[in-house]
């Protein structure tokens, strides 16, 4: 049985969870939606099961429940990797530790350090530490635009588009580029996504980013500059908007394979 934690932001028109459930059912896999609000993770009946987390609420209860469940069950993605991705500074640190190219970044509390980083780079991008969908991201060019700290600041990489690569089981399986007139090219900010072919350099850096986090599957956001691709962030509960690759089917196959492996 595959237990599925649905994405809280699903809608009838954009139903990630449903798309994968349909593929699981088509493949004859047994699955059911798991309401984390109705689970006691200390109940020892729930053991040796596969739990797929399509999405998670950014609240303590869901996370703690999953973390406890993961002691005796296989949770995909692992709660640890989802949390690492949720924090932009932890993601940056893991990328740097593995030598994966990422823009120069500072995470500071002292305003003097924030100003110093800004002066050094001229233009920087401020990002909320646990932000998503491009929310709250802004370009800072003057010290009085810094706003309140602490600050996660990144050198601004000039661009007119970004890339999202879907990595599953260590392999880049789909990619899009996103274009918009604004700073943030996220689909939720009005970016237009178009499938692109995965080139070798894109494959290498996206797969290295996934390995740096240690995650079953993820969405890796990239920018391209004169020196090549650089990783902005890794998404631990990614969507697959505009991808040409059949992500729901590939995800379903991966979950079925992992469940078989548990039973072997
Ligand atoms: N350092 C940067 N330089 C230029 N643009 C950036 C930079 N960082 C982020 N962006 C733009 O903002 C978007 C959102 O940033 P990202 O780090 O992916 O955060 P989020 O979790 O909100 O998607 C990116 O897809 C890109 O378009
Ligand atoms: Mg992003």
- Ligand 2 centroid vs 85 CA: distance in angstroms? 11
Positive or negative: CA dihedral 246, 183, 198, 96: negative
Long-range contacts of 6-13 (CB under 8 A, 24+ apart): 6/33, 6/54, 6/55, 7/54, 7/55, 7/237, 8/55, 8/56, 8/57, 9/55, 10/54, 10/55
Site to probe by mutation for ligand 1, drawn from 125, 161, 190 as the one with most ligand atoms within 8 Å of Cβ, is 125
Atom of ligand 1 nearest to the CA of 155: 1
Walk across the sheet containing 2-5 and list its strands.
31-33, 2-5, 50-53, 74-76
Q: Identify the segments of the chain with pLDDT beneath 50.
A: none
Q: What is the pLDDT of residue 36?
A: 94
Closest CA to 146 of 184, 117, 186: 117
Tell how far the Cα of 109 is from the centroid of ligand 1, in angstroms. Answer: 21
For ligand 1, pick from 107, 130, 160, 184 the residue to mutate: most ligand atoms within 8 Å of CB: 184
Task: Give the predicted TM-score (pTM) of the model.
Answer: 0.97
Strand boundaries in the chain, DSSP class E: 2-5, 31-33, 50-53, 74-76, 105-108, 124-126, 138-140, 151-155, 161-168, 171-179, 192-195, 217-225, 228-235
pLDDT of the residue at 44: 73
Predicted local confidence at residue 45, as pLDDT: 84
Smallest CA separation from ligand 1 atom 13, residue: 184
SS3 assignment, position 4: strand
CATH class of 159-235: alpha beta
Number of H helices, E strands in the chain: 7, 13
Burial class of residue 108, CB neighbours in 10 A (0-12, 13-18, 19+): middle
Asked: is 2-84+246-263 a CATH 1.10.3470 domain? The reply is no
Q: Who lines ligand 1 at CB under 6 A?
A: 103, 125, 127, 131-135, 137, 154-157, 159, 162, 183-186, 221, 223, 232-233
């Amino acid at each position: 049985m595959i237990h599925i934690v649905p994405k809280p932001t699903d809608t009838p028109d954009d139903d990630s969870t449903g798309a994968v459930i349909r593929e699981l059912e088509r493949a004859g896999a047994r699955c059911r939606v798991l309401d984390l609000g109705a689970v006691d993770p200390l109940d020892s009946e729930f053991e040796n099961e596969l739990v797929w987390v399509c999405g998670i609420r950014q609240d303590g209860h869901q996370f703690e429940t999953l973390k406890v469940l993961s002691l005796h069950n296989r949770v995909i993605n692992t709660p640890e990797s989802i949390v690492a991705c949720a924090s932009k500074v932890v993601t940056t640190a893991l990328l740097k530790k593995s030598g994966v190219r990422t823009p120069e970044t500072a995470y500071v509390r002292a305003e003097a350090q924030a100003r110093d980083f800004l002066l050094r780079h001229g233009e920087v991008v401020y990002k909320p530490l646990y932000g998503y969908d491009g929310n709250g991201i802004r370009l800072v060019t003057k010290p009085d635009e810094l706003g309140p700290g602490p600050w996660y600041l990144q050198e601004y990489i000039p661009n007119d588009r970004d890339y999202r690569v879907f990595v599953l089981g260590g392999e880049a399986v789909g990619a899009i580029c996103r274009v918009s007139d604004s700073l943030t090219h996220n689909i939720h900010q009005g970016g237009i996504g178009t499938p692109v072919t995965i080139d070798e350099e894109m494959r290498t850096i996206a797969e290295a980013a996934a390995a740096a986090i240690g995650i079953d599957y993820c969405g890796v956001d990239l920018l391209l500059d004169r020196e090549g691709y650089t990783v902005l962030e890794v998404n631990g509960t990614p969507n697959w908007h505009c991808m040409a690759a059949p992500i729901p089917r590939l995800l379903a196959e991966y979950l079925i394979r992992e469940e078989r492996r548990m039973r072997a």
